[in-house]
């Protein structure tokens, strides 16, 4: 924007001003009189006098009425009802329990592997040597070169 720190470049200054104007219009910080798209945010709201009349006649049609404490008490009651319903449903599920603190506990599941299979697995583990995967893959690659000739399309 500055040329030699003494003079302002008018072209860059104009671009910066339009960029700031664009950002202000998009955010709603700025408005354009007579525009539908960029009109003042306050024009969307009811006038203060009309709002006072609506509040006085209790016709706001707002979903939340009363105080915050009353709303929270209502929500807490709904949560308690849902938790009680969940606990009733859980009582019939085998292996699932709810403790006094309301936490769910699931009994440990059996692995489903018979003991005979585990014994065979242990015997095989003792008889077979432990080989690192990288060594196994390296040996396989060298054996492939010895046994199978390369495809004619592959050049060495």
| Residue 136 resides in a domain | yes
Structural domain count of the chain:
3
92 and 124 housed in the same domain: no
Determine the structural domain holding residue 10 and report its residue range.
2-45
Cα 58 from Cα 51, distance rounded (Å): 10
pLDDT reported for residue 93: 78
What is the per-residue pLDDT across 79-97, written as a single tens digit (0 to 9) for each?
Answer: 999 888 887 777 777 777 7
pLDDT at 28 (0 to 100): 86
Domain annotation covers residue 12: yes
Contacts of 30 (CB under 8 A, 6+ apart): 21, 24, 38
- Bridge partners of residue 105, in order along the sequence: 97
Confidence of residue 147 (pLDDT cuts 50, 70, 90): low
Neighbouring residues of 45: CB distance < 8 A, sequence distance ≥ 6: 51
Q: Is residue 74 part of a domain?
A: yes
Q: How high is the pLDDT of residue 120?
A: 92
| 104 domain residue, yes or no | no
Structure tokens at 127: 């008889």
């Amino acid at each position: 924007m500055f040329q030699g720190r003494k003079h302002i470049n008018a072209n860059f200054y104009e671009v910066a001003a339009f960029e700031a104007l664009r950002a202000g219009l998009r955010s709603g910080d700025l408005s354009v009189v007579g525009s539908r798209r960029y009109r003042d945010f306050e024009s969307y709201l009811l006038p203060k006098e009309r709002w006072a009349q609506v509040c006085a006649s209790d016709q706001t049609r707002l979903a939340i009425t009363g105080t915050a404490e009353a709303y929270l008490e209502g929500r807490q009651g709904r949560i308690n009802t849902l938790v009680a319903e969940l606990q009733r449903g859980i009582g019939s599920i085998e292996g699932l329990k709810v403790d006094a603190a309301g936490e769910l506990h699931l009994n440990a599941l059996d692995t489903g592997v018979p003991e005979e299979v585990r014994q065979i697995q242990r015997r095989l583990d003792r008889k077979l040597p432990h080989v690192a995967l990288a060594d196994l893959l390296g040996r396989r690659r060298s054996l492939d070169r010895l046994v199978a000739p390369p495809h004619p399309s592959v050049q060495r």
